[in-house]
Structure 1
Amino acid sequence: MNKLISLLKEIGIERLAQKFSAAVVYAVFSSFALNFFYQPGHIYSSGATGFSQVISEIVVRVFGHDYLPISVTLVLVNVPLIILAWQKLGKQFTVYTVLTIAMSSIFIHFVPVTPLTHDPVTNAVFGGAIMGFGVGNAMKSGISSGGTDVVSLYIRKKTGRTVGRLAFIVNGCIVFVAGLLFGWEYMLYSLVGIFVSSRVQDAVFTRQKRLQVMIVTKNPDLVTEKLLEHGRHGITVLNNVEGAYSHEPQTVLLTVITMYEYQDFKELMEKYDPTAFVSISENVRVLGKFAEVTD
């Protein structure tokens, strides 16, 4: 308990309130998408939410009763992933993830399932658009909804490899089960929902968009240490740089991050070197291997 209190103090009330607000916004949109469109239309979401739908539906089919509602299943699915995140991805990241999962589960549980239309295509498109906006906004705020995000970040941290195939495999299994449970046409509708969700998510926030960062600092050792500790991308150091106006010695650090990492990078710089000059260029192209530094 003392460690948790210390961690919350380290995060700070203002930052925690910001993440809480973002988690609530995500929870509202995800619950609306799920209970107004996905569930009534038998449309399956992607990732942990879709997997929770699968488990809940199988329980209903086997036992004839909703013993495991989606809100509960979503928490259970994420428990081992939360433990993994706590041990391997960082305490603060885990706190934000738990916060997001908790808010999402609460809203999904208490927002009633309300059919707005019986057209499966409309359910897939509107549900996907709402879910995509919620996920994109959450990622833009620097929070994770758990699920495959945790596994993807862990694998990328350990191997330096992208894991787009993981989401493809998980989502493929989800829509395949949708076809088995409701009919193959609902496999198609679920694919439409996932596609729309991903397009809207990309429109709101592109997680793999690469940003070139140039940092002019008087504290290169501290900044480099913290960047490697949190972002773990390679950094190029240019020593003996002189400011044209002040003629004071400076150091320039060059690195490339993804948009998904931008919020953490911004908070890191504000905390450890608020006087540094930081220039960020979007839409950069990278030749060669863009990977994380591994232990």
Structure 2
Amino acid sequence: MESLEGLSRRYNLLSKVSAAFLYAIAVAVALNFFWEPGRMYSSGVTGFAQLINTLSERYLPFTLTTSTLYFALNVPLFILGWFKIGKKFTIFTIIAVFLASIMMHNLPAPEWKLDPLVCAIFGGVINGVGTGLALKSGISTGGLDIVGIILRKKTGQSFGSINIAINLLIVIAAGFVFGWTRSLYTALNIFINGRVIDAVYTQHRKMQVMIVTEHPKKIIEGIQAKMHRGITIIHDVEGAYGHTEKTILFTIIDRYDMYDIHNIIVACDPYAFVSVSEVAKVYGRFKEQELV
């Protein structure tokens, strides 16, 4: 009989490969159905691949396809991820990017003319959902994801300024290539894409949880066993209503862990008072959840 650990590994592998495949379909649909017909660019490496493709069509005797460029531009980032993040992480990233390149190349583009506003909205939403699900499953979609993970590990800082600078360059390029109206739609597409990713993938958001309980030991054991989080304990506090002795527990979690910590608290002390608030910044020894 197969062990639970073996089943867990197989399920984890299947979920990651499935997420990579769903991402590949999403980005291919967004590119071929909406961005290309709408004459607008995506964000990050996909947008750069589109830009180089446009320039090759106009100024070179041959055309460099977006699908090929998308994979080629990610190769240096694969190498960086292999040495700086982890081999397993990089392998799944290569799978996701390879499948996306194949789908971009082979998914037939419909012959339709849509309003560019529709293209910006639907392209951003579809790609955002695919990317968010991939990140939520613990895999990267390549490109700026890898740069962001490395910078966050090294410095603890967000790579938002770099991301904004690169996307601003793409928006400006769209203005010169397609006109400034299309540049506005490109900016809208990038904004919608980012907001949808944030809505789907919430692990990077940090939450402070304050728990007032009469059974701190059970809750501490449950949190540390399930989530491996540090906890600050304040002993000998008193409830004003019943004047009973209580303990306050403080911990910082990823928003993605909210479901787990809620179940732990309810199982250990259904009468515990819990307050949850979003955290703007975390300093000190906070362990990021690994993507590998």
Is TM more than 0.5 here? yes
Equivalent pair of 2:174/2:183 in contact (CA under 8 Å):
yes
Equivalent pair of 2:206/2:255 in contact (CA under 8 Å):
yes
Alignment counterpart, residue 166 of structure 1, candidates 146, 162, 165: 162
Q: Determine the structure 2 residue equivalent to 1:34.
A: 31
Equivalent pair of 2:208/2:279 in contact (CA under 8 Å):
no
Q: Determine the structure 1 residue equivalent to 2:145.
A: 149
Alignment counterpart, residue 178 of structure 2, candidates 167, 175, 182: 182
1:211 shift after superposition: 3.8
Give a deviation string over 1:262-289, Cα, whole Å, max 9, x none: 6xxx9xxxxxxxxxx9xxx895333764
Alignment counterpart, residue 71 of structure 1, candidates 61, 67, 71: 67
Aligned partner letter, 1:158: K
| Superposition pairs of residues 1-295 of structure 1, within 5 angstroms | 12-66=9-63, 68-212=64-208, 216-217=220-221, 235-236=230-231, 256-259=252-255, 284-286=277-279, 289-290=282-283
1:74 shift after superposition: 0.8
Aligned partner letter, 2:279: V
Counterpart-to-counterpart distance in 2, 1:143 and 1:282: 31
1:120 shift after superposition: 1.5
1:208 shift after superposition: 3.1
State the identity as a percent.
39
Equivalent pair of 2:208/2:253 in contact (CA under 8 Å):
yes
User: Where does the alignment leave 5 or more consecutive residues of structure 2 unmatched?
Assistant: 1-5, 212-218, 234-248, 261-267, 269-273, 288-292
Equivalent pair of 1:41/1:123 in contact (CA under 8 Å):
yes
Equivalent pair of 2:207/2:279 in contact (CA under 8 Å):
no
TM-score of the aligned structures, taking structure 1 as reference length = 0.73
Counterpart-to-counterpart distance in 1, 2:99 and 2:231: 40
Name the SS for the 1:284 alignment partner: strand
Counterpart-to-counterpart distance in 1, 2:179 and 2:284: 41
Q: Cα RMSD over matched residues?
A: 3.6
Alignment length (residue pairs): 253
If you compute each CA radius of gyration, which structure gives the higher value, 1 or 2? 2
1:259 shift after superposition: 4.3
Equivalent pair of 1:37/1:115 in contact (CA under 8 Å):
no
Equivalent pair of 1:210/1:283 in contact (CA under 8 Å):
no
285-294 vs 45-54, greater mean Cα deviation: 285-294
Give a deviation string over 1:186-212, Cα, whole Å, max 9, x none: 111101111222222233233432245
Counterpart-to-counterpart distance in 2, 1:292 and 1:49: 35
Counterpart-to-counterpart distance in 2, 1:44 and 1:283: 38
122-131 vs 144-153, greater mean Cα deviation: 122-131
